[in-house]
Structure 1
């Protein structure tokens, strides 16, 4: 599978030659939509977006200087929820960039925004909510933030994330 190749390339080459960003900085990584990434509609298939996002979040941790440290601590990221807004398709063989950044956190989860962008403009905006776990237990957010070396107050969550968070809580309450 080409994503395994991309994962190995990311781990063994790209992370060794990446720039450095701070904890709230924006990470950028470029890919090309290969024919095997596309569906019968001749565009990047919806199932590839989350796979590319996993790679982009891994790259973001490397740019933050946290990837090796978190692996050493055996902290593994877990996605709890994601919401996608597709704007326009990505055609075969076209280059696109994924911008990834931490937009904030609350008492339990961290929130990340990921954007797919090309020369044609914005293709997709995704919000991801997640945690880090070690040996089946969640790493407290204050421990994670401290390990990242971030000492300023938590940023205010964007309004769309606040509303999404409330929507997720409503879904949870209605389905218990």
Structure 2
């Protein structure tokens, strides 16, 4: 429930900032300030590793609202879903610690867009996540990059993502929903 209230607060603030002209370009870096709350910590008294990705959603809500992308989605009946995500931790966030959440677009591949999130303490990265998101139609099917970029008013698209991001996305992907994805652990050696 805690993240739901934070989401509503972030959306309210982002919409207010957008209305007041505090907007972001698609190639800008979105920044919001957050605090590690008691509901974010685990038994080791630092932020639970699973909570980071939930809080990084807040950065995407702020970013899509302030860039106007949420309006593009609403007007066209589109929405984004996370297809892959990976996170790396460098430093723990402690109870009541304030940090800045940075969000930016990395680029795209043939089917999805890539975003990066960073939890920043002072001038140091505490954690970083890379997200691969697909844009879908409410009526079914995917939105092409040409449609998306045209609706966003972008010519030339986003920059090319680093090669390791393509490699990660290919290695981490599951088969399409139109293909079989058996639950067998055939690719993992078993020990007696």
TM-score under structure 2 length normalisation: 0.82
Partners of 1:106 and 1:138 in 2: CA distance: 14
Tell me which residue corresponds to 1:62.
65
TM-superposed CA distance for 1:153, in Å, is 4.6
Equivalenced residues, count = 174
Q: Does 1:88 align with 2:98?
A: no
Partners of 1:144 and 1:83 in 2: CA distance: 24
Q: Does 1:21 align with 2:21?
A: no
Tell me which residue corresponds to 1:8.
8
Q: Does 1:30 align with 2:33?
A: yes
Partners of 1:168 and 1:2 in 2: CA distance: 30
Tell me which residue corresponds to 1:97.
100
Name the larger-Rg structure: 2
CA contact (8 A) 2:17 2:23 kept: no
Q: Does 1:167 align with 2:171?
A: yes
Unmatched 5+ stretches in structure 1: none
Unmatched 5+ stretches in structure 2: 176-180, 183-192
Partners of 2:136 and 2:162 in 1: CA distance: 25
* Residue range with higher mean Cα deviation, 86-95 or 116-125: 116-125
Partners of 2:90 and 2:164 in 1: CA distance: 16
Equivalent of 2:126 in 120, 123, 126:
123
* Residue range with higher mean Cα deviation, 140-149 or 159-168: 159-168
Partners of 2:33 and 2:72 in 1: CA distance: 24
CA contact (8 A) 2:106 2:158 kept: no
Partners of 2:123 and 2:27 in 1: CA distance: 26
TM-superposed CA distance for 1:100, in Å, is 0.8
RMSD, aligned CA: 2.0
